[in-house]
Amino acid sequence: MKDQFYTYIQNLQNVITQKIEEIDGKAIFKEDLWERPEGGGGKSRIMENGAVIEKGGVNISAVHGPLPESMQAYFKVREVDFYACGLSLVLHPKNPMAPTVHANWRYFEMYDQHSILINQWFGGGLDLTPYYLFEEDAIHFHQVCKKACDLHPPHSYETYKNQCDQYFYNSHREEARGIGGLFFDYLKADEKGRIDHHYQFIKAVADSFLKAYTPLLIKRKDLPYTTNQREWQEIRRGRYVEFNLIHDKGTLFGLKTKGRIESILMSLPPRVQWHYNYEPPKGSEEKKLLEVLKTPKKWA
Catalytic residue among 64, 92, 102, 155: 102
One-letter-per-residue 3-state SS of 72-112: HHHHCCCCCEEEEEEEEEEEEECCCCCCEEEEEEEEEEEEC
pTM to 2 decimals? 0.95
Annotation marks residue 102 as catalytic: yes
pLDDT exceeding 90 applies to what percent of the chain?
A: 84
Distant-in-sequence, close-in-space partners of 52: CB < 8 Å, separation ≥ 6: 23, 24, 25, 26, 93, 94, 95, 98, 217, 221
Q: pLDDT per residue over 22-41, tens digit each?
A: 999 999 999 999 998 889 99
DSSP for 212-254, written as a single string: HHHHHHHHHTT----HHHHHHHHHHHHHHHHHHHHT-HHHHHH
Interior angle at CA 142, CA 139 and CA 148, nearest 5? 140
User: 261 phi and psi, to 5 degrees?
Assistant: -60, -45
Q: Which tens digits make up the pLDDT trace of 45-82?
A: 999 999 999 999 999 999 999 988 778 877 878 889 99
pLDDT digits (tens, 9 = 90+) for 74-106: 787 888 999 999 999 999 999 999 999 999 999
Which domains are assigned to the chain? 2-294 (3.40.1500.10)
Question: Which backbone phi and psi does 76 adopt, to 5 degrees?
Answer: 60, 50
Smallest CA-to-CA distance from 212 within 104, 140, 123, 297 is with 140
